[in-house]
């Protein structure tokens, strides 16, 4: 079962069964592309609007605010060092961590980039460097590039005119996160408490990148076919909203609409909780939102999946202009707040 603590719109923390979440998500989709999740974009991209969208071949769109050439690898590795400081404190509290980094769309789907456009050598090598440094630090990190590459060739890996990975890629990454969690040791609770997965279903609406274009270009790009699962009721006798054994913390890549928490719950056969926010909050403050919440204090999880985007990995907690003002802090302040929350 899933405990979604941040539904599609910015509402107070709450718990809902999966079918309740699904209804709310679909209502929001009627009003905005993929839940209005273009708020995921950094401030500079939102300000630039359509100039930040790259039109590729075959009517594919890419986020122009994620550089294909700037080598930010050193800053990304520094972010990993900070992640390790935080997860070390989680480890000391008995909470195992798994890191998930959603790759650049241009990395996962280079075949649709504009003619003559490609990742620079430094950017092309960056995710492998991040994975290597994570291994060096002893971090459990999903090889998301390999997981997505293994998705059936008949399925999209990322959504054509949207920022996000597809439901199939989301589930592939969730499965690998589950494998790392289970490999780290037995989980509490009994089998049978995981989310049941519904059938795949096609829904048609505009992607969030298409929504940034002028009306005539948006119409030319057209709507996307989102392949997502239908909601599936909990087995009879299963109480929705039970204590979560694993908590997912991230952004709209792990929202319930794309199926990440449901697949994770299904794979580990345990309840999974979810805390997610849109882009200007950032991964650092999003983690604090959860650790400083009454929900964490009442029920600390056995494991935590912390999700990032590759295109934002170089932005530390004090990255002014990337995160909103309430999310800005020094690295040391971030670590201190993690420590305080875990000690409470």
Query: 91 in a domain, yes or no?
Result: yes
- Please tell me the distance from the alpha carbon of residue 149 to that of residue 208, in angstroms, as a whole number: 23
Residues facing residue 79 across a β-bridge: none
Higher-confidence position of 202 and 239: 202
pLDDT at 234: 57
What are the strands of the beta sheet with 2-4, ordered from one edge?
A: 2-4, 272-276, 246-250, 303-309, 96-102
pLDDT at 232: 80
| Structural domain containing residue 319 | 2-21+71-155+165-198+236-343
Query: 56 in a domain, yes or no?
Result: no
pLDDT band (50, 70, 90) for residue 344: confident
Query: 92 in a domain, yes or no?
Result: yes
pLDDT at 279: 78
From residue 59, how far is each of 37, 73, 110 by CA, in Å? 20, 30, 13
* 171 Cβ contact list (under 8 Å, min separation 6): 259, 260, 263
Domain count, the chain: 1
Query: 324 in a domain, yes or no?
Result: yes
Burial (CB < 10 A; 0-12, 13-18, 19+), residue 19, is middle
* 310 Cβ contact list (under 8 Å, min separation 6): 66, 76, 101, 102, 103, 104, 107, 126, 127, 130
Q: Quote the mean pLDDT of the chain.
A: 87
**Helix locations, the chain, DSSP H:** 18-29, 43-48, 73-92, 105-108, 121-137, 144-149, 167-183, 215-221, 260-268, 282-291, 294-298, 331-343
pLDDT at 233: 67
* 293 Cβ contact list (under 8 Å, min separation 6): 5, 13, 275
Strand ranges (E), 206-314: 224-229, 246-250, 272-276, 303-309
Query: 9 in a domain, yes or no?
Result: yes
Query: 230 in a domain, yes or no?
Result: no
pLDDT at 117: 96
pLDDT at 264: 98
Query: 30 in a domain, yes or no?
Result: no
pLDDT digits 0-9 by tens, 168-210: 999 999 999 999 999 999 999 988 999 999 999 999 999 999 9
- Is the separation of the CB atoms in 276 and 302 below 8 Å? no
- Please tell me the distance from the alpha carbon of residue 189 to that of residue 243, in angstroms, as a whole number: 9
Phi-psi category of 41—alpha, beta or left, where left has phi over 0 and alpha has psi -120 to 50? beta
Across the range 132-142, mean pLDDT stands at 98
Lowest-confidence segment of 92-96, 231-235, 316-320 by average pLDDT = 231-235
Q: Above pLDDT 70, what percent of the chain? A: 83
- Please tell me the distance from the alpha carbon of residue 339 to that of residue 344, in angstroms, as a whole number: 9
Higher-confidence position of 44 and 296: 296
Query: 141 in a domain, yes or no?
Result: yes
pLDDT at 231: 87
Higher-confidence position of 319 and 234: 319
Buried/exposed code over 233-257 (b: 16+ C-beta within 10 A; e: otherwise): ebeeebebebbbbbbbbbbbbbbbb
pTM exceeds 0.85 for this model = yes
pLDDT digits 0-9 by tens, 5-45: 333 322 223 333 333 343 333 333 333 445 444 444 444 44
Q: Which two tokens stand for residue 110?
A: 């280079």
pLDDT digits 0-9 by tens, 53-103: 999 999 999 999 999 999 999 999 999 999 999 999 999 999 999 999 999
pLDDT at 278: 85
- Please tell me the distance from the alpha carbon of residue 187 to that of residue 183, in angstroms, as a whole number: 10
């Amino acid at each position: 079962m899933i405990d979604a603590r941040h539904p599609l719109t910015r509402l107070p923390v709450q718990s809902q069964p999966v079918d309740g979440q699904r209804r709310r998500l679909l209502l929001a989709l009627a009003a905005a592309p993929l839940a209005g999740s273009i708020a995921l974009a950094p401030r500079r991209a939102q300000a630039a609007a359509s100039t930040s969208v790259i039109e590729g071949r075959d009517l594919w769109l890419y986020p122009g605010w994620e550089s294909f050439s700037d080598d930010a690898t050193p800053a990304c590795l520094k972010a990993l060092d900070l992640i390790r400081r935080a997860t070390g404190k989680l480890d000391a509290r008995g909470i195992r961590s798994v890191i998930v980094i959603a790759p650049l769309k241009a990395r996962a789907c280079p075949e649709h980039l504009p003619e003559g456009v490609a990742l620079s050598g430094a950017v092309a090598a960056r995710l492998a460097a991040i994975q290597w440094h994570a291994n060096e630090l002893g971090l459990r990190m999903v090889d998301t590039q390999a997981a997505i590459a293994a998705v059936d060739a008949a399925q999209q890996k990322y959504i054509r005119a949207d920022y996000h990975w597809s439901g199939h890629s989301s589930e592939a990454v969730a499965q690998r996160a589950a494998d790392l969690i289970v490999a780290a040791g037995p989980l509490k609770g009994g089998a049978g408490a995981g989310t049941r997965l519904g059938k795949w279903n096609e829904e048609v609406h505009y992607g969030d990148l298409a929504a940034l274009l002028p009306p005539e270009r948006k119409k030319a790009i057209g709507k996307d076919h989102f392949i997502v699962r239908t909601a599936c009721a909990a087995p009879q006798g299963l109480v929705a909203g039970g204590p979560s054994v694993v908590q997912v913390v991230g952004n709209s890549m792990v929202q319930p609409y794309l199926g990440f928490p449901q697949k994770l719950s299904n794979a580990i056969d345990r309840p999974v909780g979810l805390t997610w926010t849109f882009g200007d909050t950032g991964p650092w403050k999003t983690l604090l939102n959860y650790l400083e919440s009454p929900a964490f204090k009442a029920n600390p999880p056995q494991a935590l999946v912390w999700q990032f985007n590759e295109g934002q990995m170089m932005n530390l907690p004090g990255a002014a202009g990337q995160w909103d003002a309430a999310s800005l802090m020094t690295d040391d302040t971030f670590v201190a707040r993690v420590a305080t929350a875990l000690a409470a």
